[in-house]
Amino acid sequence: MPSSAGTWGSLALPIARHPVRIAGVALVAIAVLAPIGLVLYQSLLSGPFFSPAVQFSGSAYGYVLNDPEFYYALRTSATIAVGMSAIALPLGALLAFLMTRTDLPGRFWMEPLLLSPVFLSPIVLAFGYVVSIGPVGFLSIWSKAALGFVPWNLYSLESLIIISGLTHVPHVYLYTSAALRSLNPEVEEAARTMGAGVWRVALTVSLPLVMPALVFSGVLVFLLGIEMFGLALILGDQSGITVLTTYLYKLTNLLGTPSYHLMAVIAIVIVALTLPLVVLQRHLLRHGNLYATVRGKGMSGRPLPLGAWRWVALSLVLFWLFATVVLPLSGLILRSFVSTWGEGISLWDVLTFGNYAELADYPNVVRGITNTVLLGGGGGAVAVAVYAAVALIGHRWPSRFVGVLDYLVMTPRALPGIIAGLAFLWLFLFVPFLTPFRSTLASLWLAYTVVWLAYGMRLISSALYQVGPELEEAARVAGAGQARVYRDVTLPLVKYGLLGSWLLIFMTFCREYSTGVYLLGPNTEVIGSLIISLFGSGGLDLISALSVINVLLISVGLLLALRLGVRLHA
Amino acid sequence: MRELTVEGIRKSIGGVEILKGVSLALKAGEVVALLGQSGSGKTTILRSVAGLETPDAGRILLGDRVVFDGSQQIALPPEKRGLGLVFQSYALWPHKTVRENVSYGLKLRKAGDEETKKKVDEVLERLGLGSMGERYPHQLSGGQQQRVALARALVYRPTVLLLDEPLSNLDAKLREEARAWIRELILRTRISALYVTHDQVEAMAVADRIMLLRGGEVEQEGSPQSVYEAPNSALVADFMGSNNHLSGRLVSVDGDFGTIEVAGGRLIGRMMGRSSIGDRITALIRIERVGIDRTRSENGLLLNLETALYLGERWEYVLAGPDARLRAWSTTPLAGQGQYWVDLPQDQLWLF
């Protein structure tokens, strides 16, 4: 009997122990739990963790929970989350039905456009609205000239809810259309042959079958509502509308000294709201996908003819596209080419390329642009490698560690970017050997990678899921060890999946803004956090030019992804 | 010499006992078929031998090398067992050419380039894939893919070849041809093979010995002929062939034969179980053993012709009377409606 046979414990079934895998789980645990733990620790102190006289105390909780401003922010967050779900859910579901099941004109080429709000940065969109329909926006000034008054008020809670609702329609569309596509059209055709009309089929057959997807995206939109930062900061700040994240952000400036303990408490409150939502999402994803199995062989059902209604439907879709994409983006582009704008100014007199030339005068802005590209391209590639490594740790490993890993991976999903950025700032201040990296891109990269861990893992896992287990087993039986199998079989097979994931992560990292807010410093500028900091000083010329560059970067990624046929969602 | 020995392996998954202590032995050059319905545990046995599943208890030996021992907590990983496995789905690596697929096992065994080329050419030639080396799996037909899977498992000369339903993805015609040459190939290669299938005809065609599995246990074991012609139970009889069923009462027993009262008449059949007089009894007869005629049969029933189906090489008839409904085959057409004598030879009518 060869002694190298190996033994195994009662826990892990197949054969060997897995020291490498367990070490990997431990690393993920540290990367995820350390920042959260630090926030929790800080929330229980009487002052910032670095001040000498600090002690454990519940005083920070006392302060926040007695602040009327906190309750106002909480209420506003809840109102927005409910309101935007109420707008995004029906519109997203309708859009999905129109696009997947009917003969809506343009349904073959419109999808990337419909999804574009998902990839655009919320602050870029928010600024687009400011320069288009803000008090001195293009449309507002023109409307005042034509009508004598402006029929809308951008800086109101209603506008904020409508805009956030409209910009989150694609999130609902993504999941609902995926569910509809996986549904065999024959079940709908069966209902039609029995005499049900188009809308009756939609309401009595299709809708109930995609209900799990709808519930899931409803929870998602609600979660995004609670986590919302950029839209609320830029559209709400003027009129004093505060949500939880902007309440946290403004505390930074409110009190002279760093009020880390108070910020930590708000962060904990937000996570206490979002974590259950994330757990609920996971539960829905696990147990709610009951109907995805209603598959058949032929999925190419004949589209339902809308008749004359198709033009009504098309107008509706185009109007939505105009309001969510064309309106803010056209305003931004226009604003980036004028030197100034306001009442009584003729557009032709102020046209200029100067705003772009001016960018070069600010070293931090130039660095911000290069950093964004570096972080998205290089950092994105490294992040995908990390996600792939983590995904391989749990890949066909029948162990309870995999369950632990699943929970670890989804936890950062409950951290809004701004809180994650804050937590990582503290981590880099708190842990001595990390301090030198504080003002390098490494700090941003780590924060980004952890914030998008759940998303990245979903991208990679769905690629790994395509690899049949027997392809790996065949290599094992042929004589290859586990690592060799990953190298020779698994990774080559998911090559294109990894490439697609990298493009999606590139776009995600380019669009990210909130995570960089607290990590912003010399050398760690990125476009998103620069826009937020410029917003304080009101440099609309620079902001518009930067925003357009940001949109261009993301468009390059999106076009490349479309060219390569990358699925735009996991 | 024994190439493979499996001793009392057990396995439970989620509280369900998949294997309830199965033992088997594979002699050099022998082909054993593990036959059973889905859920019988046949694939679990194969995967346990391959090292892809770990049983809870028992022992598995390859030659005299222990590859699994539950009591000593020994379990060699699959790559250390040196077996060949042909998967139901073939599991060809889609990113490798046929040549790369087949040579992978040799590459892992650090064979030289020349030796590898020679062995791969040889096996591809032998399996009629000589010109396919540079193609990718998706450019091959199902039958060709199946042969590549075999070539890949055979090229490094494993001592035991494991086949998991290797023909079930082929269409019916191809399957009949493939089972003949797969048997030839195994015999010519002088390899021992464990062959998992749910198709009893395939098992009989390919194997020297059949192990019929049910609910994680061996129900019957023996040569194809003995399992087909002397089943231990009505279940085995039903699994191995297409049968007519009659329900009756045992009225007398004389040596190996018994008389039953059925459908208003009396029939003599062979006693297969331990029933006593007065018991309710099931009588079974293979469809192909049933005769059909206008003239009176000694051991038969007079039934009414209900349906005639033309099946090309034969006719199938359904005949029925009170409490009896039988199917029979004939190569000649019957002359019209009415009553016929259905002959049930006593030697072929099994009483369980």
What percentage of chain A's residues is helix, strand, coil (to nearest 5)?
75, 0, 25
Residues A321/A114, Cβ–Cβ less than 8 Å = yes
Give yes or no for residue A13 having a pLDDT over 70: no
Across the interface, whether the CB atoms of B77 and A479 are under 8 A apart is answered no
Q: Give kind and range of the element (H or E) at residue A383.
A: helix A380-394
Contact B79 A493 (CB under 8 A): no
Chain B residues with beta carbon closer than 8 angstroms to that of A491: none
pLDDT computed for residue A451 by the predictor: 95
For residue B237, the model assigns a pLDDT of 94
CB nearest to B91's CB, from A1, A15, A468: A468
Q: What is the per-residue pLDDT for A256? A: 60
How many Å apart are CA A350 and CA B291, to the nearest integer?
104
CA distance B89 to chain A (A): 8
Over the range A424-457, which residues count as b (16 or more CB within 10 Å of their CB) and which as e? bbbbbbbeeebeeebeebebbbbbbbbbbbbbbb
Digit-coded pLDDT (tens) for A165-206: 999 999 999 999 988 888 877 788 888 888 887 778 888 888
Residue A414 in this model has a pLDDT that exceeds 60: yes
Q: Which of B73, B81, B108 sits opposite A8 (nearest CB)?
A: B73
Secondary structure (3-state) at A217: helix
Which of A42-51, A293-302, B210-219 is predicted most confidently?
B210-219
Residues of chain A with pLDDT > 70, as a percent, come to 93
Chain B residues lying within 8 Å of A481, measured CB to CB: 77, 79
Q: Which chain A residue is nearest to residue B106, measuring alpha carbons?
A: A478
The predicted structure's pLDDT at residue B86 = 95
Taking alpha carbons only, the member of A249, A547, A272, A287 closest to residue A419 is A249
Tens-level pLDDT at each residue, chain B (352 residues): 789 999 999 999 888 999 999 999 999 999 999 999 998 999 999 999 999 999 999 999 999 999 999 998 889 999 999 999 999 999 999 999 999 999 999 999 999 999 999 999 999 999 999 899 999 999 999 999 999 999 999 999 999 999 999 998 888 888 888 999 899 999 998 999 999 999 999 999 999 999 999 999 999 999 999 999 999 999 999 999 999 999 999 999 988 999 999 877 889 999 988 888 888 989 999 999 999 988 888 899 999 999 999 999 999 999 998 888 999 999 988 888 889 999 999 999 999 8
With 80 as the cut, is the pLDDT of residue A466 above it?
yes
**Three-state SS letters, A250-292:** HHHHHCCCCCHHHHHHHHHHHHHHHHHHHHHHHHHHHHCHHHH
Mean pLDDT score of chain A, rounded to an integer?
89
CA distance, residue B86 to nearest chain A CA (Å): 8
Instruction: Please tell me the least confidently modeled range out of A44-53, A280-289, B327-336.
Output: A280-289
**B85 to A474: CB separation less than 8 angstroms, yes or no:** yes
What is the interface pTM, i.e. ipTM, of the complex?
Answer: 0.85
pLDDT-derived band at A7 (thresholds 50, 70, 90) equals very low
pLDDT at A569: 65
Asked if the C-beta of A475 comes within 8 angstroms of chain B's C-beta atoms, the answer is yes
pTM: 0.87
pLDDT interval class at A300 (50, 70, 90): low
Using beta carbons and an 8 Å cutoff, which residues of B are at the interface with A? Answer: 50-54, 66, 73-79, 81-85, 87-89, 91-95, 104-105, 108-109, 152-153, 156
A54 at B interface, C-beta within 8 A: no
Distance CA A136, CA A157 (A): 19
- Output the pLDDT for position A295: 47
At B175, list the tokens: 């399957």
Cβ contact B54–A15 (<8 Å) = yes
| pLDDT at residue A26 greater than cutoff 80 | yes
pLDDT at B183: 92
Structural contact between residues A121 and A528, judged by C-beta atoms closer than 8 angstroms: yes
pLDDT of residue A16: 55
Residue A158 banded pLDDT, cuts 50, 70, 90: very high
**Which segments of A411-451 does DSSP mark as H helices, in order?**
417-430, 441-451
| B144 token code pair | 């060709």
B78, A8: Cβ pair inside 8 Å? no
Contacts of A478 in chain B (CB under 8 A): 79, 104-105, 108, 152-153, 156
* CB spacing of A479 vs B54 below 8 angstroms: no
Residue A391: predicted pLDDT: 94
Chain A, nearest residue to B93 by Cα: A471
Dihedral of alpha carbons A116, A118, A119, A121, sign? positive
Contact A105, A314 (CB under 8 A): yes
Q: Is the pLDDT of residue A14 over 50?
A: no
CA distances B164 to B27, B89, B104, B193, B313, Å, are 19, 9, 20, 11, 32
Between A121 and A52, residue with greater pLDDT: A121
* Cβ-Cβ contacts under 8 Å, A492 against chain B: 95
Q: What is the pLDDT of residue A4?
A: 33
Element (H, E) at B287: none
pLDDT of residue A198: 75
Relative to beta strand B300-310, strand B315-321 is antiparallel
Chain A hits for B87, Cβ within 8 Å: 470, 473-474
What pLDDT sits at residue A15? 45
Contact B87 A474 (CB under 8 A): yes
> Chain A: residue nearest B13 by CA?
A13
Chain centroid to Cα A154, Å, comes to 24
A474·B91 Cβ contact <8 A: yes
Q: How confident is the model at residue A53 (pLDDT cuts 50, 70, 90)?
A: confident
Q: Among all residues of chain B, which has the CA nearest to that of A12?
A: B54
Which residues from A are below 8 Å from B60, CB to CB? Answer: none
Q: Kindly state whether A14 is in contact with chain B, defined as any CB-CB distance less than 8 angstroms.
A: yes
Shortest distance, CA B260 to any CA of chain A (angstroms)? 50
**Sign of CA pseudo-dihedral B12, B18, B22, B27:** negative
Res A288: pLDDT:
60
